[in-house]
Amino acid sequence: MPRLLASALSLRRDPRLLKLPPYLSLLCIVVGVVWLFLLPLDDYSRRTYISENALLPGQVHTYFGGSDQNVFRAYKHETDELADKGNIEVNDKLESIAKGLGLKVGRQNFTYSSAGNTHSGQNMYAILQAPRGDATEAIVLVAAWKNVKGELNRSGIPLVLTLARYFKRWSLWSKDIIFLFTPDSIAGPQAWVDAYHDAHDSSRVASLPLKSGALQGAIALDFARETRFKSVHIVYDGVNGQLPNLDLINSVNHVAGGQMGMGVAIQEMWKHSTSYHDRLQTMLRGMLKQGLGLASGPHSSFIPYHVDAVTLQPFGDGWQDEMAIGRVIEGTFRSLNNLLEHLHQSFFFYLLMQRDRFVSIGTYLPSAMLVAANFTIMAIALWVKSGQPEVQEVITEKTKTAEEAEKIAVPNPHVAVERDLNLPLVVVAVCHVLSVVPLYLFNHLSESALIPAFVLFSVLSAILPFLLSNLLHTSTTSTTTQQYNLIQSFSLLLLGMFLSSLATLNFSLAFLVGVFSAPLTFVRPCPNSPVLKVLSMIVLYVLSPTTVVLVASVLPGLDEKVGYGLGEVLKQAAFAWDVTGTYTPVVVWCVWWPAWIAGVVSVLGRPEAAGEKKVKKA
Amino acid sequence: MNGGKVTLGRTAGLYAGAAVLRLALFTLFPGLPDLLTGRVEISTPVTSFKRLQEGLFLYNHNVSPYDGGVYHQAPLLLPIFNLLPSFSTFPIFTYLLYIAVDILSADALLRIAESGEAGSSARFTSPRRDKRWSGAVIAALFLFNPFTIATCIGRSTTVFTTCAILHAIANAISGCHFHAMIALAFASYLSMYPLLLLPPLILLCYDRQKQPAGPRAPDAWIKFTGTMVMDVFGALAVLFQMSFMLTGSWEFLSSTYGVQLTLSDLTPNIGLWWYFFVEMFDSFRSFFLAVFWLHLSSYVGGLSVRLRQQPLVVITLLLGIFAIFKPYPSIADASLFLGMVPLYRHVFPLLRYSFVIAAIIIYATFLGPAFYHLWIYAGSGNANFFYAITLVWGLGLSLLVCDLAFAVLRDEWEVERPEMVGKEIRQI
């Protein structure tokens, strides 16, 4: 044992050991990315299963249909009449219908402002009090007047009204059922859920006049088409990449796919052949949506409050009619009605490959953690490297005391030289403090100013590293190799730390940012090789936050032929920040951007005495 | 030290800057104080400002503040806060009080630093003592430490204990034994655990007492220790008597110190006790309580003996140990320990794990709230997530305590064995 320890200690001093970390970092990144691509394989993903036995999905007969079809047609006529009416008129009509059904009705006004625009409206909701319950728990059925694409929810609204009438006749409900009608798909539900949990800003969102018990689950219906459909699309992404409990998705899956015999799709994969390619595509789409952290439907706002929710969207041409989707909702509500406690058994962190295959957090988290770990490894390596005595420092350091000069004159490999921490700390801190500027700008400017501001900011952010680098070079005490190593070390340490914390909250965002900033690990000051310098600069500028945002905004989206365009993306980001509290902008501007600036500064670095070092080594 | 006026101007500027920063945080972000007050990392059951408000409300309505089992803090805090204009209408006075306490703490720390006690005590003079930071730098590191700022904004009542401990040390160094003991009595009265600092503090007083040169009587230390102990317990007795008169019963003893001794409130915090005692079977509870307290107090004797030459080091290390192992620790205790560490600038080159320690502490600082969020708000994690991070936090702090102890001992050792300077040593 002592010999082993001694050999381990001597190994610690081996100079070859310090050559290792870059390769180790590269290995981490490669393994992390390859790991992700292995996930869709059968050996790494699992079939989904129901964990919560109380749910019993698809075990009950559903009776919605028959004469309810006529009721639906009647409500549909009413809805069509209201198609061009204002929000208040619509709610007046909906209220009179709900009151006619014997439900308690409440209304709520809200006004959000974002990017100079005002988003205001009025929510209407009706509460069906449970015949067998005590108003301590509730489930929500949401129908937004307009879906996320801005289409009128032409069949969804009448269907929810029909279901309200139908549910009222049953005596088996043990949880209150809340029917929520919102004017739009994002701001309305957000205002309502915030107010339901008393977490609203009362200057923008009114309090709710009427409440029920703790929300146990929510289903939103987005049914804009008027023709028969083939399958149902489950939208499950919440704000900031939070997901509903997998049991809820499984239940809907069971009821729709098993009991009703209709197809189920996720992540806009209208056709899914269960091949590796399709699974990978589904997973990557899911990750992209999760990473962006935007609200994807009326259900998204519920998830941060630990209310599991999904949106159902019928799609495709087939023979299923409105009653079929009504029965899916009825079946799911019967399952939720069975719940004895909040959904907690199944997974909250998962990536779905197809409707019945998933990978859980234990399987996929290592890939993001490996990518984040590569930064930490490099940070430690650079720290160790900065502590190693360098012979030429005796000449350059003027402020060394006699005692220290003595110490360096007899180089001692295991006593680290004193590091000068102040300058590197200041540089890294300045980068992080500056990052408040873009965060504030892009979330507070009005819509028309967004694009000019972005262009101006991109140019400034491209020039900033040159300015900083010049400042470092011409300042009275010029910057040494050690200080450049330390700048990079601190910056990478912070990046690695932020990303590994983030990976537990939003895996996809951490992974994406990690992959985009991977080159930061490998760039070094290279004053003697212009080719390497130019090459590093090109890679860094191509993968800079501003370039990535710009390119992402003009690339075609999942379905669309053309991209949204820069203005729309910035507007959406500001809206998400102001209304739903999406924190993706914080990650991009306050985590990624400062790390990038520090990286470019070190590439541009002209460490003092580096030239002499070369000569000496030669 | 050098040019009194310049230093005075600079420290005044420093204090003004710290005060303005805190005041700005209080006023520009009105939601921040309440947000921080609610964080388990800042407010523990025995220091929470929210619970203080509850106690104050009961006290003002002539109900015993300890009814209801929410308030676990010293009774004398109540009249102090009662003297201030009502918090709900004029919160600014409470803010100013907390800011003033922070600056008083920093001032005591500055006095400790300027005395140079860390580098050269009465019995030991470090060869590296020239390399040190000025008092202003150390006070700045304390005042602008994010943990200190968060504690101040979160209005945790630990700040009073911190202030009392720092003043006890500063007075001990400047030779005012009586004041030191009174300050320690206040700290112990507020939080109980500072009483464990009594032995090293007596040593510090004894070493720094102003005396004409010449041999002391061989048993002078017995008399000295006796006086010191009498001072502390006399002051404590007075404080207890005042508390008794204030609340009209001795109930406060069990509600304040009893809670710390028996850990009856299991609210999560960044310490290591709560999870352990949540899991504990009741029959083992009292045994392990005794073990945990014994463990916490066992460091006092050993460190005082081993580091007899440098009592200030003992106090610093003990503060670090308390920040890890006391029943209800918060980041306020860590901020006190981290505030004392820069006094040992001269042994920093001997620290072996400074980067690892900094990385662990920063990692834990960010992962802790993230995991707490997953557990409490998102519902997708569980208590183990947060407890794992408190273990990491404890690991980071204990590494710092060990490393600092190593560096100080090595510094002493190199004086004893000059031929070994700069050579590698190995622990066997």
Does pLDDT of A618 surpass 50?
no
Look at residue B19 in the predicted model and tell me its pLDDT.
Answer: 94
Measured distance CA(B106)–CA(B98) in Å, rounded? 12
Q: List, in order, residues 6 or more apart from A530 with CB less than 8 Å away.
A: none
Chain A contacts of B373, Cβ < 8 Å? 505
8 Å CB contact of A504 and B378: no
Does pLDDT of A402 surpass 50?
no
8 Å CB contact of B422 and A407: yes
A4-18 per-position pLDDT tens digit: 666 666 666 667 777
* A234-261: burial string, b at 16+ Cβ within 10 Å, e else: bbbbbbbbbbbbbbbbbbbbbbbbebbe
8 Å CB contact of A376 and B379: no
Q: Residue with structure tokens 């009498």?
A: B230
Sign of torsion over alpha carbons A115, A117, A118, A121: negative
Look at residue B117 in the predicted model and tell me its pLDDT.
Answer: 87
A556-594 per-position pLDDT tens digit: 665 555 567 788 888 888 999 989 989 999 999 999 999
A31-69 per-position pLDDT tens digit: 999 999 999 998 888 899 888 888 888 888 888 988 999
ipTM score here?
0.79
Q: DSSP string spanning A135-165?
A: SSEEEEEEEESB-TTS-B-TTHHHHHHHHHH
Look at residue A174 in the predicted model and tell me its pLDDT.
Answer: 92
Q: DSSP string spanning A39-90?
A: TTSTTT-EE-----GGG-TT-S-----TTHHHHHHHHHHHHHHHTTS-HHHH
Q: Which among B356, B362, B422 is the nearest to A497, CB-wise?
A: B362
Task: Reduce the DSSP state of residue B244 to 3 states and report it.
Answer: helix
Look at residue B85 in the predicted model and tell me its pLDDT.
Answer: 81
A516-558 per-position pLDDT tens digit: 999 998 888 887 888 888 888 999 999 999 999 888 888 766 5
Look at residue B129 in the predicted model and tell me its pLDDT.
Answer: 85
Q: For residue B94, report the phi and psi dihedrals to the nearest 5 degrees.
A: -65, -45
* A520-537: burial string, b at 16+ Cβ within 10 Å, e else: bbebbbbeeeeeebeebe
Chain B contacts of A494, Cβ < 8 Å? 362
Nearest CA to B164 among B194, B135, B137, B141? B194
Residue in B closest to A500 by C-alpha: B367
DSSP conformational letter for B217: P
B363-397 per-position pLDDT tens digit: 999 999 999 988 888 777 788 889 999 999 999 99
Chain A nearest-CA distance from B315, in A, is: 27
Helix axes B158-173, B198-208, angle to 10 degrees: 30
Look at residue B376 in the predicted model and tell me its pLDDT.
Answer: 86
Measured distance CA(B10)–CA(B5) in Å, rounded? 8
Chain B contacts of A216, Cβ < 8 Å? none
Chain A nearest-CA distance from B104, in A, is: 27
Residue in B closest to A349 by C-alpha: B380
Burial of A14 (0-12, 13-18, 19+ CB in 10 A): exposed
Nearest CA to A472 among A459, A452, A455, A488? A488
Q: Which among A380, A415, A505 is the nearest to B370, CB-wise?
A: A505
Look at residue B426 in the predicted model and tell me its pLDDT.
Answer: 67
Mean pLDDT over the full length of chain B: 89
Look at residue B3 in the predicted model and tell me its pLDDT.
Answer: 43
Measured distance CA(B127)–CA(B408) in Å, rounded? 12
Look at residue B7 in the predicted model and tell me its pLDDT.
Answer: 65
State which residues of chain B have pLDDT below 70. Answer: 1-7, 210-216, 426-428
More confident residue, A340 or A392: A340
Beta bridge partners of A480: A608
Token pair belonging to A598: 């520090």
Chain A nearest-CA distance from B222, in A, is: 42
More confident residue, A60 or A389: A60
Look at residue A6 in the predicted model and tell me its pLDDT.
Answer: 64
Q: List, in order, residues 6 or more apart from A62 with CB less than 8 Å away.
A: A259, A327, A330, A331, A334
- Residue A423 — very low, low, confident or very high, per pLDDT cuts 50/70/90? confident
Token pair belonging to B275: 């999870």
Average pLDDT on A423-435 reads 91
Chain A contacts of B362, Cβ < 8 Å? 493-494, 497
Look at residue A199 in the predicted model and tell me its pLDDT.
Answer: 87
- Judge whether A566 and A554 are in contact, CB under 8 Å: yes
Measured distance CA(A123)–CA(A195) in Å, rounded? 11
Identify residue A515 by its one-letter amino acid code. V
Does pLDDT of A391 surpass 50?
no
A462-509 per-position pLDDT tens digit: 999 888 888 887 765 667 788 888 999 999 999 999 998 898 888 999
Look at residue B333 in the predicted model and tell me its pLDDT.
Answer: 94
Which of B133, B355, B377, B414 to mutate to test binding with chain A, by most A CBs within 10 Å of its CB? B355
Report yes or no on whether pTM surpasses 0.95: no
8 Å CB contact of B367 and A501: yes
Token pair belonging to B390: 């408190």
Which of B366, B380, B386, B392 to mutate to test binding with chain A, by most A CBs within 10 Å of its CB? B380
**Alpha helix stretches (DSSP H) within B209-345:** 220-247, 251-253, 259-262, 273-279, 282-306, 311-325, 331-340
Average pLDDT on A249-276 reads 89
- Judge whether A489 and A382 are in contact, CB under 8 Å: yes
What domains are defined for chain A? 2-38+364-393+404-617 (no CATH), 71-355 (3.40.630.10)
Task: Reduce the DSSP state of residue A536 to 3 states and report it.
Answer: helix
A70-122 per-position pLDDT tens digit: 999 999 999 999 988 889 999 999 999 999 999 999 999 999 988 888 888 99
Q: Which among A412, A504, A505 is the nearest to B422, CB-wise?
A: A412
Q: Which among A410, A414, A418 is the nearest to B424, CB-wise?
A: A414
Mean pLDDT over the full length of chain A: 86
Residue in B closest to A381 by C-alpha: B355
Measured distance CA(B77)–CA(B73) in Å, rounded? 8
A163-218 per-position pLDDT tens digit: 999 999 988 899 999 999 999 999 999 999 999 999 888 888 999 999 999 999 99
Q: Which among B349, B355, B373 is the nearest to A383, CB-wise?
A: B355
Chain A contacts of B356, Cβ < 8 Å? 380
Does pLDDT of A398 surpass 50?
no
Q: N- to C-terminal Cα distance for chain B?
A: 43
- Residue A395 — very low, low, confident or very high, per pLDDT cuts 50/70/90? very low
Look at residue A614 in the predicted model and tell me its pLDDT.
Answer: 38
8 Å CB contact of B359 and A412: no
Chain B nearest-CA distance from A504, in A, is: 8
